[in-house]
Structures are given as structure tokens and as C-alpha cells.
Amino acid sequence: MLSPSVTTLLLEARAGSDQALNRLFEQCGERLLSLIRLRMGTKLRLRMESGDILNATLLRAFRSFDSLEARNTSSLMAWLASIAKSEIRDQTDRLHAQRRDAGKEVPLDSGCVDLAARMRSQTSQLVLSESRLKLERAI
């Protein structure tokens, strides 16, 4: 059954109490942080702290609290978890987009192209040596 403190906090938060909303988020924070740590990929963890995702999640939740229809702790956690998953997905998409950013591409300079042109296989080097020998004999 629903804990009276969570019920009371939900009612007070819906009535506009920022303090009640903060207390709700504090109560769910540790569980939500654990979920975020489990869901973050390795590459995203290298770029961001799980606490950053938690803060962004709680900010989104705060902004959209009016749309919450939770009546108990589990539905509140499910709502917060869906926001966290969305935030993780958005941050992962941003990370991949940064890697694909055309502005970060480095153009090939002519030196790289020339280097590739100068590299020859053993067969082509042998053919070139034979051609030089024939040319020298002819001269």
C-alpha cells in the first residue's frame, strides 16, 4: 500500500509546494541514480557523470510535473525512470552526433595523397627497376 508520506508529498506537490516536490525527488534520488548508472553506456560514462544525468532528469521532471499522474511510489519511480531513459538516449545521441560533426572533419592534404601515390608494391617496384635497366641499356 502507498506510504502516507509519499501520498501527502504528492498531494502537496500537486498543490504547488516546491518543498514537497523536492522531498519527493530526494526520496527517489538514490534509486534513480542506481538505475541511471546501470543504463549509461561505457562511452557515455567516459563523457558524463551519472549525477549530471540525474540532475537533467530531475529538471525535466520538475518542468513536467503537472503531467504526472502517479498515485504511488512505484508509478512515480516509473515516470522518473522513463525520463531518465530519455535523457540517457538524448545524451548518447548528442555524443554520436558530435563524432559525426562535419565541422570536425580534417581534410586530406595533398601530402597524404602524394604519400599514397608514392607507395608501391614489390611487384610494381620490380617492374619499374626492369624498365629503368632497359632504358639505361637503350641509351
For the chain, what are the domain ranges? 4-102
**What would the DSSP string read from start to end of 84-102?**
HHHHHHHHHHHHHHHHH-G
Higher pLDDT, 88 or 128: 88
Residue 59 scores a pLDDT above 60: yes
Please give the single-letter amino acid code of residue 79: W
Fold of 4-102: Rna Polymerase Sigma Factor; Chain: A (1.10.1740)
Per-residue pLDDT, 4? 44
The string of pLDDT tens digits covering residues 118-136 is: 656 667 677 777 888 888 8
**What are the cell numbers at 68?**
504526472
Q: Name the pTM for this structure.
A: 0.66
